[in-house]
Amino acid sequence: MRILAIETSCDETAAAVVEDGRRLLSNVVATQIELHRRFGGVFPEVASRQHVLAIQPVVRQALDEADIGPARRLDAVAVTHGPGLAGSLLVGVNAAKGLAFAAGLPLLGVNHLEGHIYSNWVQPPEDESQAAQELFPTLVLIVSGGHTEIVLMRGHCQYERLGATLDDAAGEAFDKVARLLKLGFPGGPAIQRAAEGGNGARFALPRALRHDPTHRFDFSFSGLKTAVINLLRSLEAEGAALDDAALLRDLAASFQAAVAEVLVEKLAAAAQATGARQVCICGGVSANRALRDGAQARFAALGLPLHVPPLFLCTDNAAMIGSAAFFRAGCAPAAANPFALDVHAGLPLST
């Protein structure tokens, strides 16, 4: 089954052609990062207008690179319809409706979080054995700009939410702390760069809910951000400044260590409690080196297979949407009237 997938939920205009949920025939991402940088975050109206400009060339390129034409046809069109920015989602959904209607193809609506999960099932071109296998229960950590959740899958498309953040998402914490450290947008990659060679043990920052029995698999990151604010104040009172390169390195490394440690620790506890047979991490923050290294060491010690997508599939892309659409099509009947598909900014992950 060959699917054209479209993703426009936030600030990337993306289109991909995916075969049988795993094989990438093309994967095009037009990022808007430069446009939003001067606002210090994603500016929703600017994002939707840019999607309008980019969607046609991006889809065209994805079809061309996959060699879609009379000799190689599509079987369906898939599109992210939530969660995300409503105005941005609308551009992708309307483009997908137009394409599906014109080509007489089924239209499949995909949840963005389900997309992130299935980024682990897409075969990385450099090493196909890295992709997740049909091993259930599978435990998943979703860590993106808007979500931080631990989800247990007892089969394809079956989701049981074990825990989530009570306040900020992990990516949001990276973005907010990057702003405090004057590192710019997007915060995650900026903090990772700033933390290189830093001492993550220099500043003791909180690991919230670490030993809280009623929130075993939940997270909280807003207190961590406040702790960074307080630490900066006391450092400034002592005469220290962020232009001290060693200080900035250690601050960034200490913050990154606090986030990565609590994510890995709770994920490992959930894996042991549920008897998971494989573990997956996904979403923009899964690109983080400290998190990837920490998780790899921990799950190797536990003897559990760990999957983390290649970097280009961690942040938003359409390949993961094409993969999720394929597996979802195998679980659920197609919608009676796919053209009634609407956008849903707060769409929850559902079985």
Q: What is residue 84's DSSP assignment?
A: S
Q: Which of 144, 220, 317, 323 binds Zn ion (CB under 5 A)?
A: 144
Q: Which range of residues in 52-60, 71-79, 241-249, 308-316 is near Zn ion by CB under 5 A? A: 308-316
Give residues with Cβ within 8 angstroms of 104, minimum separation 6: none
Q: SS3 for 338?
A: helix
Phi-psi region of 240 (alpha: psi -120 to 50; beta: other; left: phi over 0): beta
115 binds ligand KG4 (CB under 6 A): no
Q: Any idea of the CA torsion for 252, 253, 255, 257, to the nearest 10 degrees?
A: 160
187 binds ligand KG4 (CB under 6 A): yes
316 binds Zn ion (CB under 5 A): yes
Q: Which range of residues in 139-147, 189-197, 217-225, 340-348 is near Zn ion by CB under 5 A? A: 139-147
Secondary structure element (H or E) that encloses residue 189, with its range:
helix 187-194
Q: Which of 146, 200, 322, 338 binds ligand KG4 (CB under 6 A)?
A: 146
Residue 32 touches which of Zn ion, ligand KG4, none (CB < 5 to 8 A by kind)? none
Residue 109 touches which of ligand KG4, Zn ion, none (CB < 5 to 8 A by kind)? none
Q: Which of 50, 220, 288, 323 binds ligand KG4 (CB under 6 A)?
A: 288
The whole-angstrom separation of Cα 140 and Cα 158 is 12
Q: Which of 118, 121, 159, 174 binds ligand KG4 (CB under 6 A)?
A: 174
| Angle between the N-to-C axes of helices 222-237 and 245-274, in degrees from 0 to 180, rounded to the nearest 10 | 160
Burial of 121 (0-12, 13-18, 19+ CB in 10 A): buried
144 binds ligand KG4 (CB under 6 A): yes
Q: Which residues bind Zn ion (CB under 5 A)?
A: 144, 316
Which residues make up the interface to ligand KG4 (CB under 6 A)?
A: 10, 144-146, 171, 174-175, 186-189, 192, 283-285, 287-288, 315-316
